[in-house]
Chain A
Amino acid sequence: MNQRNLIILAGSVFGLLAILLVKYGNPPNMGFCIACFLRDITGGLGLQRAPVVQYIRPEILGLVLGAFAAALVSREFRTLGGSSALTRFVLGFVAMIGMLVFLGCPLRAILRLAGGDLNALVGIAGLVAGVALGIPFLRKGFSLGRALPQNKANGYVFVGIIVFFLILLLAKPAFIYFSTEGPASMRAPLALSLGVGLLAGVLAQRTRLCLAGGVRDFILFRDFYLLYGFIAILVVALIGNLVLGNFKLGFAGQPIAHSDGLWNFLGMMLAGLCFVLMGGCPLRQLVSAAEGNTDSAVTVLGLMAGAAFAHNFGLAASAGGVPAAGQAAVLIGFAVIVTLAFFICRANLIAREVSAGGRNKGRAGATLS
């Protein structure tokens, strides 16, 4: 099967699985959402105490373990690291704040749209704008530098953490939180969620599914490959929602969403900017971490820390809208990331001029111009 058919198939299965999860108990238009589910996991661990978003989501655990297994079988597991880990943490942190102002990751944006939520269209427009904002930095020499092979044991640490989360979920010790109300109280049966996650992980690893990457590759290279996957998710989830009577077109009263267009746009734009700088959306970061990339694992920790802060400090949006603190956080996020990207570009350009003056050989970093 050629790559394009494979990613269309993978996208279709993703769409179907998301509808299935909602049918069996997950929140509406949230069959699968990397941002929301990472946020729920931080709640389940007690790192944030919003009572409505606490559950160690098996979908995420399954996704990582499925991608890990697929990487092992395909011999694509490689322990890499050392590419600006702390900067990636910050990018993940800020991206999560943007996503929680919108209320979803790119994957959920597609699923919300498939449910008729037109606010998602505003968010997707923001995502495209954010990716477009980030691309000039890439062209001007933005690079987080090379990852190098590391001691193989490092690559298993992230998977080990995920297995530990799974043990906590199954053993249910007293210090683990389970929401009894709100979105995180709505959950498909554990075995189903875990199984769906595993399958989704295998598919995402094999196809490198990534929505931010799809938009980026289209703008940079006119390459549709990754976008096919998301169009497939949209079409299948849309059909599923129509069949099950879950489709409701409009802006107002959409499940776990608000209709503040400006902040839907800006939240997702901030996230899109971060994605393009860190090399992929949250889904891709999880898969990459499962493949042994320790920088991506740090990015995931940044996403989780961002989620914890977003809820502990009242930055996250709710159906009621975006709090003033959340709006301020998005604007500060833009200032931080644009400044950071500017200085990274500048340092790379200076380093390149120095190396061009000397011998222009060896692993001198990405030579973009």
Chain B
Amino acid sequence: MEEIKDARGLLCPEPLLITKQEMERLGSGTFKVLVDTAAARDNITRLAKKQNWKIEVSEKEGEFLLVLTK
């Protein structure tokens, strides 16, 4: 079972650093990141595309759950 990386409340670039670190740690697979700003959502989406990870975004009460798969 994959852990959810909690990047809520963090200003850029911390959510990105957390995501990138997890990408490098896993290499491939699936993990989730939880963020609470649209800026973090967009930045992680851009990073995922650049690193060839598939990303799915779902929104719930102002928070965004990002599921990254490679």
Contact = CB atoms under 8 A, between A and B. Distances in A.
Given A78-B37, A144-B11, A223 B18 contact: no
Contacts of A216: 13
A368 B14 contact: yes
A213 B12 contact: yes
A78 B50 contact: no
B11 A147 contact: yes
Contact of B37 (A76, A143, A362, A369): A76
A359 interface: no
A368 B46 contact: no
Given A78-B37, A363-B6, A366-B17, A280 B46 contact: no
Contact of B38 (A76, A83, A138, A366): A76
A368 B21 contact: yes
B17 A146 contact: no
B17 A368 contact: yes
Nearest to B40: A208
Interface in B50-65: 50, 62
Nearest to B6: A363
Given A80-B9, A366-B17, A223 B42 contact: no
Interface in B1-47: 6-14, 16-18, 20-21, 36-39, 42-43, 46-47
Nearest to A207: B42
Contacts of A288: 11
Given A220-B17, A221-B16, A221-B47, A143 B6 contact: no
A260 interface: no
A368 B18 contact: yes
Contacts of A165: none
Nearest to A217: B13
Among B8, B38, B50, the one with the most A-chain Cβ atoms within 10 Å of its Cβ is B38
A221 B20 CA distance: 9
Nearest to A360: B3
Contacts of A145: 9
Interface string A115-146: 00000000000000000000000110001111
Among A139, A362, A366, the one with the most B-chain Cβ atoms within 10 Å of its Cβ is A366
Among A145, A216, A217, A221, the one with the most B-chain Cβ atoms within 10 Å of its Cβ is A221
Contacts of A369: 21
29 contacts: A3-B42, A3-B46, A74-B38, A80-B36, A83-B11, A138-B14, A139-B17, A143-B10, A146-B9, A147-B9, A147-B10, A148-B9, A208-B43, A213-B13, A220-B13, A220-B17, A220-B20, A221-B50, A223-B46, A223-B50, A279-B14, A280-B11, A280-B12, A291-B37, A363-B6, A363-B8, A366-B18, A367-B18, A368-B18
Given A138-B13, A213-B13, A366-B10, 16 more contacts: A3-B46, A78-B37, A83-B11, A138-B17, A147-B9, A149-B62, A208-B39, A217-B43, A221-B50, A222-B50, A223-B46, A279-B11, A295-B11, A363-B8, A366-B7, A369-B21
| The 9 residue pairs across chains A and B that have the minimum distance between CB atoms | A146-B9, A279-B11, A147-B9, A76-B38, A366-B14, A208-B39, A363-B6, A368-B17, A148-B9
Interface of A: 3, 74, 76, 78, 80, 82-83, 138-139, 143-149, 208, 213, 216-217, 220-223, 225, 278-280, 288, 291, 295, 362-363, 366-369
